[in-house]
């Protein structure tokens, strides 16, 4: 009986090998299976997701040579924060519709926010970011209004004033009725790690040791962290707009924003 699950898996694996082209992973593929290269790429860098692949993965797999018909859709059934869907647009210039499926609602939100970057205006983002930070963030939001997640209630992970300020920022962003609210919200989530006493390590959160970043994180104000990340988003929108204006000979992107849905 104990051998049954293993042999079932083996059969499934064999079936998949018959159906799909297997590519031997060379060094380019290996270095593209990780987030690192995304930290310098516009839009890809909007949220650091440890589990994500690099924007160059599809090229490393040789998929960039595919010539897609106009009615083709690119489907990523485990799309995470949307790296491959975004790379199909920004790195490969594909105009095909894109569809992502992702079980984690937050990752699906991050993917959708990034993949639909054309919805956002750099000018509106700048105005709204100033509006959100016009008054100092509150340091005394009642704990009953905090998210239930235990991480926020653990003083080893976050100072209490930080959680209050993040909750206040989320409240202010939620009241905005413009598309850039999604972008501002992603920024709050992206800034949270820099305002905490932990770092993401695989699927776990590791509490920082005595000599690790604690001082620099304590001296970073929440307002500064948010302003910094939103300024980065704005810079990316501006640079992509400039790039698109200068895109001579490249396919003119029509709306390529594929529908993304959470698998839940
Ligand atoms: C290795 S990550 C892929 C990351 C993605 N390529 C990117 O660059 O962001 C695998 C993703 O699959 C998602 N996932 C796992 N099981 C799933 C399921 N049954 N249905 C949909 N998504 C799933 C995980 O939440 C995770 O985000």
Ligand 1 centre to CA of 79 (Å) is: 5
Tokens linked to 27: 């060094």
Would you say the CB of residue 38 lies under 6 angstroms from ligand 1? no
Taking the model in full, what pTM does it have? 0.86
Three-state SS for 64-102 is HHCCCCCCCEEEECCCCCCHHHHHHHHCCCCCCEEEEEE
Which tens digits make up the pLDDT trace of 11-69?
Answer: 998 898 888 877 677 888 888 988 899 999 999 999 999 889 999 999 998 889 988 88
Nearest partner of 47 among 84, 78, 74, 80, judged by Cα:
80
Return the residue whose CA atom lies nearest to atom 27 of ligand 1: 80
Ligand 1 centre to CA of 221 (Å) is: 33
Would you say the CB of residue 84 lies under 6 angstroms from ligand 1? yes
Would you say the CB of residue 101 lies under 6 angstroms from ligand 1? yes
Which tens digits make up the pLDDT trace of 239-258?
Answer: 998 887 765 444 443 334 44
Would you say the CB of residue 37 lies under 6 angstroms from ligand 1? no
Nearest partner of 234 among 194, 175, 180, judged by Cα:
180
Assign residue 135 a region (left: φ > 0; alpha: ψ between -120 and 50; beta: otherwise): beta
Return the residue whose CA atom lies nearest to atom 12 of ligand 1: 78
Which tens digits make up the pLDDT trace of 112-122?
Answer: 999 999 999 99
Ligand 1 centre to CA of 255 (Å) is: 25
Would you say the CB of residue 33 lies under 6 angstroms from ligand 1? no
Ligand 1 centre to CA of 107 (Å) is: 8
Which tens digits make up the pLDDT trace of 200-231?
Answer: 876 788 888 777 777 778 889 999 999 999 99
Would you say the CB of residue 83 lies under 6 angstroms from ligand 1? yes
- CB-CB contact of 169 with 223 (8 Å): no
Share of the chain above pLDDT 70, in %: 91
- CB-CB contact of 233 with 47 (8 Å): no
Return the residue whose CA atom lies nearest to atom 18 of ligand 1: 103
CA dist 61 → 21, 56, 91, 127, 198 (Å): 11, 9, 14, 41, 34
């Amino acid at each position: 009986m104990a051998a049954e699950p293993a042999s079932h898996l083996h059969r499934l694996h064999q079936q998949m090998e018959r159906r799909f082209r297997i590519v031997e992973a060379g060094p380019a593929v290996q270095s593209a299976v990780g987030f690192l290269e995304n930290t310098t790429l516009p839009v890809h860098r909007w949220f650091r997701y440890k589990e994500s692949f690099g924007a160059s993965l599809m090229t490393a797999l040789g998929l960039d040579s595919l010539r897609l018909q106009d009615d083709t859709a690119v489907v990523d059934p485990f799309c995470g924060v949307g790296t491959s869907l975004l790379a199909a647009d920004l790195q490969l210039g594909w105009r095909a519709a894109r569809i992502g499926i992702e079980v984690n609602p937050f990752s699906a939100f991050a993917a959708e926010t990034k993949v639909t970057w054309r919805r956002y205006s750099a000018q509106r983002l700048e105005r709204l970011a100033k509006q959100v930070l016009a008054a100092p963030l509150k340091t005394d939001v009642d704990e009953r209004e905090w998210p239930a997640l235990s991480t926020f209630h653990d003083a080893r992970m976050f100072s209490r004033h930080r959680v209050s300020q993040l909750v206040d920022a989320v409240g202010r962003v939620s009241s905005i009725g413009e598309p850039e609210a999604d972008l501002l919200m992603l920024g709050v989530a992206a800034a949270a790690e820099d305002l905490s006493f932990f770092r993401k390590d695989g699927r776990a959160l590791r509490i920082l040791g005595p000599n690790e970043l604690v001082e620099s994180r304590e001296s970073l104000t929440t307002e500064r962290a948010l302003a910094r990340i939103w300024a980065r988003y704005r810079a990316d929108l501006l640079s992509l707009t400039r790039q698109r204006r200068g895109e001579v000979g490249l396919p003119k992107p029509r709306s390529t924003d594929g529908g993304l849905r959470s698998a839940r």
